[in-house]
Copies of this chain bind each other. A is one copy, B any other.
Amino acid sequence: MKKSLGAKTIVYPTPVFVVATYDSAGKPNLMTASWGGICCSTPPCVAVAIRKVTYSYSNITERKAFTINIPSETYVKEADYFGLVSGKEADKFAVTGLTPVKSDLVDAPYIGEFPFVLECKVRHIIEIGLHTQFIGEIMDIKAEESMLNEKGALEIEKVKPFLFAPESRAYYKVGDYLGKAFSLGKEI
């Protein structure tokens, strides 16, 4: 028997995306967004939802580009900070000492130190309500070589990403391997 909790925004796991953009003067900015996820395989696309009042919203609508930077556990304080302060008030790259690297594919910077990044061109803008959803086509993923396995593929156990739990507003590590997808279900 289930109990009603009301109309809330809770799913598990929720990601921690650090979105990087340029403003009109070319100053790089960062913000953390947890409302998002992959939304299409072909063309490869990712969605991220952002409020209109943010500095990043203006940057994305103007530049039609952004990058999504996936933080490792090591950068949990920085990722949290990027969600607390507006780019109108602070140079978040300077404050944290992280390096803005100009993307060679899209009109946005990415974080040099983070394990991997998605370089995106805006394809759709959907006005939903408090949040506007930007759907970006993923032009490339760039990753640190130390995050790849012997086959050259990204390895989640090396990246050590973390997740956000809405409502309890807490971060959790990724835990143990549970099993092989598109395989375990064959035992049913």
The residues of A with any CB-CB pair to B shorter than 8 Å are 1-15, 17, 34-47, 49, 68, 70, 73, 76-85, 95-96, 101, 112, 116-118, 123-124, 126, 128-131, 133, 135, 137-145, 148, 152-156, 159, 161-188
A2 and B117 within 8 A (CB): yes
B78 and A188 within 8 A (CB): yes
A-B contact pairs, 20 of them (CB 8 A): A3-B142, A3-B148, A4-B141, A5-B143, A6-B140, A7-B44, A9-B44, A10-B118, A10-B141, A11-B70, A12-B174, A38-B166, A81-B186, A123-B128, A156-B170, A171-B180, A171-B181, A172-B177, A174-B175, A175-B176
A9 and B35 within 8 A (CB): no
A37 and B40 within 8 A (CB): no
A14 and B38 within 8 A (CB): yes
Number of copies: 2
A12 and B187 within 8 A (CB): no
Nearest CB in chain B: distance from A47 CB, A: 6
A156 and B172 within 8 A (CB): yes
Q: Tell me the complex Cα distance, A147–B53, Å.
A: 35
| With A4-B141, A11-B38 already in contact, 4 other A-B pairs whose C-beta atoms are closer than 8 Å | A10-B38, A11-B68, A80-B179, A170-B177
Q: Tell me the complex Cα distance, A155–B165, Å.
A: 9
Nearest CB in chain B: distance from A7 CB, A: 5
Q: Tell me the complex Cα distance, A29–B145, Å.
A: 42
**Contact residue among B5, B42, B45 (Cβ-Cβ distance under 8 Å from A142):** B5
